[in-house]
Structure 1
Amino acid sequence: MMQTYAYAALAFSAFTSATILPGTSEAAFAAFLYQYPKQLYGAWFCAALFNGLGSMVSYWLGRLLPDKKRPSEKVLRHLERWGVWSLLLAWVPIIGDALPIAAGWLRLNWFKCLIILLIGKALRYGVIAWSLVYLV
């Protein structure tokens, strides 16, 4: 039963961390793995999925922005140059929250954005998990 609550807390933390709300999904992910080390793949899937879905909320919010409320020029130049592949960096502090918003504002294909976001998030949590297992 406690494990179910732990998954819910991990999902909530991962989801909110990917939006403009503050969050600490890395700490929640590490704490989950410390408490339930045999649930590595389930935690990895949960964190990546909900963090990716949180970024998609930012993407859809970007679609609602009026034309005169442009994201920063730096973020726009990056997205215009690299397209959806830029979203692999949506986990990076500071610019990471702006990338999905800008992708939505630019009306990049939502399905491609979703796939790239999920891949990037899965890679990120995979590196964290690997670090916890092999370096700690």
Structure 2
Amino acid sequence: MKSTLKSLKMATTAVHGENKKHHHNAINTPIYYSSTFEFDNFENLEQVFNREKEGFIYTRWSNPTRQELEIKMALLEQGEAALAFGSGMGAISATLLTNLKHGDHIIFDNVIYGCTFSLITKFLVKYGITYSAIDLTNLKSIN
């Protein structure tokens, strides 16, 4: 169905979901409020937990509503995939912690969101990541 959705206009893509069979053929994806999901037996839970089988265990890890949003965002942006987070700091933290490692150096504008600044200057430095906060509006400061 992905190839079909990629050829649709943006408004149509935003409305239609990836797999309506999971949502009883509803046009719009329902909002799943459940924090946890039930399994027929421990073996099924273990298979989903080990990523041998698709499914949902705990909403903080994955949720059908968020998964549908991520699929639609990837389609709308013509990307391979998308990730949705509960907050901007969740997205920023995940991005930095996924891509930086001991010995890396990060360069950022000296005017950024305060919590991002604290994450970099107070937390990441503890893991051997150095930084430069520079004025990105001044081209001479960029070497």
TM-score of the superposed pair, with normalisation by structure 1: 0.33
Q: Which one has the bigger helix percentage?
A: 1
Q: Determine which structure has more spread, i.e. the larger CA radius of gyration.
A: 2
From the two aligned structures, give the one with the greater strand fraction: 2
User: Taking CA–CA contacts closer than 8 Å with sequence separation of 6 or more, which of the two structures ends up with the larger relative contact order?
Assistant: 1
